[in-house]
Amino acid sequence: MSLTLPQSIVLTEYDKDYPVEVPWLDLWHVYVVANDKGGAGKTSTVANLALMILKKLRRGDPSKGIPGDPDARVLVIDLNAQGNLTVHEFGASEEQNDHGKGLYDSLHAGTALKPVTVRPGLDLVPGGGEWLKDDVATLYRRLRDKYDANADLRLLQCLLPIAGDYDFILIDTPPENPPLQRLAMGAGRWIITPAKTDNGSLDGVKEMSEQFKKVRKVNPLLTLLGVVLFATGRKSTQIHQKAEKRLREILKGRYFKFRTNIGHSEAVAQESRDVDGEPLVALFDRAEGGDTSLPETVRSVHEDYRKLTDEVIARSAEIKKAIEES
Ligand SMILES: Nc1ncnc2c1ncn2[C@@H]1O[C@H](COP(=O)(O)OP(=O)(O)O)[C@@H](O)[C@H]1O
Ligand SMILES: [Mg+2]
């Protein structure tokens, strides 16, 4: 590999004598889902990818001779002050849900994240508290003053002690919060960007790509894996083409759009907007179980996520191979 990777990083007072060594080549399994705009589909994408990947790993693929791994584990990190993923999608219990306090404390001290198990094989670092807004911003400024660009690697430092316990790690990021977006990107290898076709969502891709360029200086293997069009009409070909043109202008040589779009479904939207509604992941569990009482659009969106999961896995494996061979 011709890329020069940082040998070690200094991120706390205690590290000065013993800087953290980052095992860069063992971190191909960390995915960040980011778009600076809210409502772009980040949280839905994280929740569904996490569960689909877990099921896929546990089941294996007998048709391709890939054995299932019943011990496969997936970790999700919720960096949102809203905590939708933590509460609504993954139903963390009162006991489990510290509303991101543990996450904040780890970031503050530079110590290991402490996930909780929300389903067999699925662990979560909960989000949801106010400290994921102002307090993190203050902490981030302090870290930058002290450690300069390496501040972006703070979440990575907290993830490193547990990263090897998981087969797949997904980080959900908040909109309009550059400090947390950069901490997420500093810890990740791949960025998946959901975007709606409206200008606001596409502007969010631009903002995201600005953060990406900055973080890549300290995380040289960070890669834009692809954009996925979210909640879009199945026949809106012209609108898709227009959005793709804009995305090409924004991302230039780094542009890639997944073949799969996540289709629009009013039924899915309604369930996820409704506080008492069923979490998407529960809805899709039913779809998988063959529940024919579900609206057709729900089953189609479930199928979209399944295809997207396959694309994400295949494309990251392909790029990883190319980088390793270069
Ligand atoms: N397939 C879909 N079709 C239409 N609307 C959807 C679909 N999936 C989710 N939504 C709606 O989109 C909203 C935003 O999605 P979300 O994943 O929370 O975005 P973000 O995390 O980027 O803010 C959800 O609250 C839900 O109402
Ligand atoms: Mg969200």
| Alpha carbon nearest to ligand 1 atom 13, residue | 39
264 lines ligand 1 (CB under 6 A): yes
Q: Is residue 10 part of a domain?
A: no
pTM for the predicted model, two decimal places: 0.96
Q: What is the pLDDT of residues 165-223, one digit of tens each?
A: 999 999 999 999 999 999 999 999 999 999 999 999 999 999 999 999 999 999 999 99
Burial code of 57-78, b = ≥16 C-beta within 10 A, e = fewer?
A: bbeeeeeeeeeeeeebbbbbbb
Between the CA of 295 and the centroid of ligand 1 the distance, in Å, is 17
Q: Which ligand is nearest to the CA of 47?
A: 1
How far, CA to CA in Å, does 23 sit from each of 112, 171, 258?
Answer: 16, 19, 29
DSSP H stretches of helix in the chain:
42-59, 84, 101-109, 134-147, 154-163, 178-187, 199-216, 237-251, 266-273, 280-288, 296-325
Residue of minimum CA distance from atom 27 in ligand 1: 269
pLDDT digits (tens, 9 = 90+) for 222-256: 999 999 999 999 998 999 999 999 999 999 999 99
| Residue 196, both tokens | 């709606």
pLDDT (tens digit per residue) in 70-114: 999 999 999 999 888 998 889 889 999 999 999 999 999 999 999
**What is the domain range of residue 257?**
21-317
Distance 111 CA to ligand 1 centre (A): 33
Residue written as tokens 């996540």?
Answer: 262
- Amino acid symbol at 147: Y
Domain presence at residue 262: yes
Residue 320 has pLDDT above 80, yes or no: yes
- Ligand 1 centroid vs 317 CA: distance in angstroms? 28
- Which pLDDT score is estimated for 83? 86
CATH number at residue 191: 3.40.50.300
pLDDT at 183: 98
User: Which of ligand 1's atoms lies nearest the C-alpha of 301?
Assistant: 1
pLDDT digits (tens, 9 = 90+) for 270-316: 887 776 778 888 888 888 888 888 889 999 999 999 999 999 999 99
Closest ligand 1 atom, residue 304 Cα: 1
Residue 35 is predicted with a pLDDT of 98
- CB of 273 within 6 A of ligand 1: the answer is yes
What is the Å distance from ligand 2's center to 18 Cα? 37
Is 197 among the domain residues?
Answer: yes
Greatest mean pLDDT among 21-35, 51-65, 80-94? 21-35
Task: Give the model confidence (pLDDT) of 117-141 as tens digits.
Answer: 999 999 999 999 888 888 999 999 9
The whole-angstrom separation of Cα 199 and Cα 42 is 17
Q: How far is CA 89 from the centre of its chain?
A: 14
- 231: Cβ below 6 Å to ligand 1? yes
Residue at 1 is within a domain = no
Atom of ligand 1 nearest to the CA of 44: 17
The number of the ligand 1 atom at minimal distance from the alpha carbon of 47 is 17
Evaluate whether residue 298 is within a structural domain. Answer: yes
pLDDT of residue 88: 87
Structural domain tally of the chain?
1
41 lines ligand 1 (CB under 6 A): yes
Domain assignment present for 326: no
Residue 7, domain member (yes or no): no
The answer to whether 190 touches 225, Cβ cutoff 8 Å, is yes
DSSP single-letter state for residue 127: -
35 Cα nearest atom in ligand 1? 22
Model confidence pLDDT, tens digit, residues 146-158: 999 999 999 999 9
Task: Mark the residues whose beta carbon lies below 5 A from ion ligand 2.
Answer: 42-43
C-alpha closest to that of 155 among 139, 166, 138:
139
Contact partners, residue 47, CB within 8 Å, separation at least 6: 76, 85, 89, 90, 279, 280, 281
Domain-located, residue 167:
yes
* Ligand 1 lined by 44 (C-beta under 6 Å): yes
> Ligand 1, residues 230, 260, 266, 274: which to mutate, most atoms within 8 A of Cβ?
230
The bound ligand whose nearest atom lies closest to the alpha carbon of 305 is 1
**Is 35 exposed, middle or buried, given 0-12, 13-18 or 19+ CB atoms closer than 10 A?**
buried
Nearest residue CA, atom 26 of ligand 1? 269
Average pLDDT over residues 26-49: 97
